[in-house]
Amino acid sequence: MASLDTIQFKNKIIPSLIINEAGTALSHYPELEEVSIEFKFKPSLKRSFMKAQPKFSSIFRSKKKRTYVILMSKVFKIDGMELPIQDIPKNVLIGWLGHELGHIMDYHTRSSLNLMLFGIQYWISPNYIKEAERMADTYAITHSMQDYILATKKFILTHSSLSEKYKARIRRLYLSPDEILLLVKEQEMK
């Protein structure tokens, strides 16, 4: 059951604080219309602002019955900097959510065994993390979210309060703005 500060419709549970942004991001993923997704605030997430994952209780269900959660922090905390979610520009937040929905698209194509192997590889291999993060970006871009993804990348990479260590991690693991534009160009040529 959704709490008073969340809105539940169909098979989605979304905090009212981000209902518009989540709705915009979800509108780019019609394939996820029947998929159960809960957007949930957590007090703290290590090394990230958001993360998508299957709910453990649903991993062994069929793909159609699997459920997912996008965990978010109400305050983006990195290297001593704190930025409340309501202070993040809307297009940046939509891009972040679109990236996480890209992860769900990826997870939803996998069998239960493959999903478990994915989790293990993600946990132990930096190269696999890079592959997974770039795949999520690619899903977002192929779902016409390139402007939002670019806004998110630019926000992170040009934000003066974010540490160079964090920015270097983003540059290393995710598609760069140039790679995003190249992917968009390739799509337009198809």
User: How many angstroms separate the CA atoms of 2 and 4, rounded?
Assistant: 7
Q: What is the mean pLDDT of each run of 10 residues along the chain (190 residues)?
A: 69 96 98 96 80 93 93 83 88 97 96 93 91 96 96 89 86 93 88
User: How many angstroms separate the CA atoms of 184 and 112, rounded?
Assistant: 31
User: Helix axis angle, 19-27 relative to 90-108, nearest 10°?
Assistant: 50
User: How many angstroms separate the CA atoms of 178 and 115, rounded?
Assistant: 30
Tell me which residue of 84, 91, 95, 81 sits closest to 162, measured CA to CA. Answer: 81
